[in-house]
Amino acid sequence: MDLGLEGRTAVVTGASRGIGLAITRGLAAHGALVVAGARRSSAELDQLAEKGQVQVLEVDLADPGGPGRLVALAGNGPDILVNNVGGAPARTGGFLSITDEDWQASLTLNLMAAVRATRSALPAMLAAGKGSIVTVCSVNAALPDPAVLDYSAAKAALAGFCKALSKEVGPRGVRVNTVSPGPVATDLWLGDQGVAQAVSHATGAKAGDVAREAAQAMVTGRFSRPEEVADLVLLLASDRTANVTGSDFRIDGGLIPTW
pLDDT on residue 78: 98
Is 151 catalytic? The answer is yes
Q: Label residues 200-236 b or e (16+ Cβ within 10 Å = b).
A: beeeeeebeebbeebbeebeeeebbebebbbbbbbbb
pLDDT number for residue 93: 93
Q: Catalytic pick from 151, 161, 189, 223?
A: 151
Q: What is the pLDDT of residue 209?
A: 81
pLDDT at res. 190: 80
Centre a 10 Å sphere on the Cβ of residue 69 and count the other Cβ atoms it contains: 15
Cβ within 8 Å of residue 29, ≥6 positions away? none
Q: Which domains does the chain have, with CATH numbers?
A: 9-182+225-243 (3.40.50.720), 183-223 (no CATH)
pLDDT (tens, 9 = 90+) of the chain, 259 residues, equals 789 999 999 999 999 999 999 999 999 999 999 999 999 999 999 999 999 999 999 999 999 999 999 999 999 999 999 999 999 999 999 999 999 999 999 999 999 999 999 999 999 999 999 999 999 999 999 999 999 999 999 999 999 999 999 999 999 999 999 999 999 988 778 877 778 787 878 788 788 888 888 889 899 999 999 999 999 999 999 999 999 999 999 999 999 988 8
Give pLDDT, residue 168: 98
Phi, psi dihedrals of residue 206, rounded to the nearest 5°: -70, 140
Contacts of 120 (CB under 8 A, 6+ apart): 67, 68, 70, 71, 72
